[in-house]
Amino acid sequence: MAAEFPQLCEAETAVISRLIGSHVQRLATIAHGDGVCTTHIPAQPTTVRTE
């Protein structure tokens, strides 16, 4: 399916980015001949609450 509709991979990347509120990067896709889709999601810095 990914090979026929590569725009699905782009849409998935955009949805992930919107959900976490951060830029994500697609590293590999089945649509481009890779074995799996791989997405880099950067670690978010943790906030420390002080009271």
pLDDT for 48 beyond 80: no
pLDDT for 45 beyond 70: no
The pLDDT of 5-33, averaged and rounded, is 89
Q: Any long-range contacts for 38-47 (C-beta under 8 Å, 24+ apart)? A: 39/13, 41/16, 44/20
pLDDT at 43: 86
* Domain segments of the chain as ranges: 7-40
Q: Are 30 and 3 in contact, with CB atoms under 8 Å apart?
A: yes
What are 28's strand-pairing partners?
38
- Evaluate if pTM is beyond 0.75: no
The pLDDT of 26-42, averaged and rounded, is 89
Least Cα distance to 11 among 35, 2, 36, 50 occurs for 2
Pairing of strands 25-28, 38-40: antiparallel
